[in-house]
Amino acid sequence: MSVDVEETLSRELRAVADGLSVPALPPLPQEPPGVARPWQPLLVAASVALVVAGAVAVVATARGGQEPAPAPPQPSPTRSVGTLPRTAPTVPYVVDQRLYVAGAQVPGTWWSVRGGDAGWLALRTDSTWWWGRGSEPHQIAGQHDVPPVISPNGRYVAEIDAQDGPGLLTAFDTASGESLGGVPIDRGDPQDGSTVSIRAVTDDGRVIAQGTDTSLLWLPLEGGATVDLGETAPEQQFLAGTPTGLVVTDGASGVVDGTIGEPYLAEISDSGVLTRTGAVPTHDDVLVSPAGDWLTWTAPGTTGGEVTAVAELQARSVDGGQRVTLTAPASWGFRTRAWAWESDEHLVSPVVGDGGGERMARCSVRLVSCVLVDSR
């Protein structure tokens, strides 16, 4: 049997109204006869409005009506109104095997480039290594079984010359190109995995070389002294140098997510003693911004094997207070191990298109956004 909801509701509301007992109003000043009291129609109107509002709500519910939509959520505190500049990156970069420095293309074809304000280090497609301060390149002589490494600020470059017999660990200053000297070093054996590589060069000129059987701190700016890190920092594995310290893992704590031990940031003294300064996420790759405020990383297992590009990069303030995800522009992916901090807000990277080809992209950790930019 069908029921008229509105008719039933009307009868019930009339019954409720008839049964209401309204208390008398307090005495009011006498008014001349024939003068309407303005509060009377207002009171009636208010009562009717309340009853009608309640009736509308009940009828809407009976008819399956919806409650008013909630207010839209406020923007995330990590996002801010603004736009990203689409000009070419201000740091050296390689796109489609072309190297650009200070607004000029460097002759040759190139695989990669690293560096800072004071200089850059790049690998050509013929497997030779080059360095420079502006757009003029300088080749690093010698044979290299392991890559040279540049300090985060671009001031110092260290290399292991793969000469016959023991290797030679050397370094030079990119401000002048002058050598900082060298010390003999056992290069290890690639057959048993004991190859020694340069793990980090700090902004103050300290050099760390490490392999399975070797862990050495060299101080070319302090008379060429060396320290055995196997004694001062036993079990510690050095991964990289950053503007805010070394990335180190504790080899004694076992393997965590494919990384030896939990990674952490540390300062190192001339005597080879480490002081922990902060935590670092477990990662495949990690990069810290110039002032040490932000870091970006890829999760363990993300960039190994044949992976050439990733859709996302994780970013976090070094103190751990903020975290964002940077997503490449639609139909593009960040080329692995090629991203670089342009400033403490902006990250730049070559991006690979779904259909091939490369462009450059710029991301903002403040806007949590990435856009394609001028690639020259």
Candidates 5, 146, 139, 1; CA nearest to 62 is 5
Please give the residue that has the higher pLDDT: either 12 or 263.
Answer: 263
Tokens of 139: 């080749």
Candidates 256, 214, 248, 251; CA nearest to 235 is 251
pLDDT over 70 (residue 95) = yes
Q: Cα(115)–Cα(152) distance, rounded to whole angstroms?
A: 6
pLDDT over 70 (residue 234) = yes
Residue 321, CA distances (Å) to 78, 202, 368 in order:
11, 26, 15
Range 178-194 average pLDDT: 91
pLDDT at 288: 97
- Considering the entire predicted model, what is its pTM? 0.77
Instruction: Break the chain into its structural domains and give their ranges.
Output: 140-280, 284-376
Candidates 125, 126, 198; CA nearest to 162 is 198
The phi and psi torsions of 298 (rounded to 5 degrees) equal: -115, 145
pLDDT at 191: 85
pLDDT digits (tens, 9 = 90+) for 138-168: 999 988 999 999 999 999 999 999 876 778 9
Q: Cα(373)–Cα(361) distance, rounded to whole angstroms?
A: 5
pLDDT digits (tens, 9 = 90+) for 266-321: 999 999 999 999 999 999 999 999 999 999 999 998 998 889 999 999 999 999 99
pLDDT at 106: 97
Place of tokens 């008013």: 68
- The architecture of the domain spanning 140-280 is Beta Barrel (2.40)
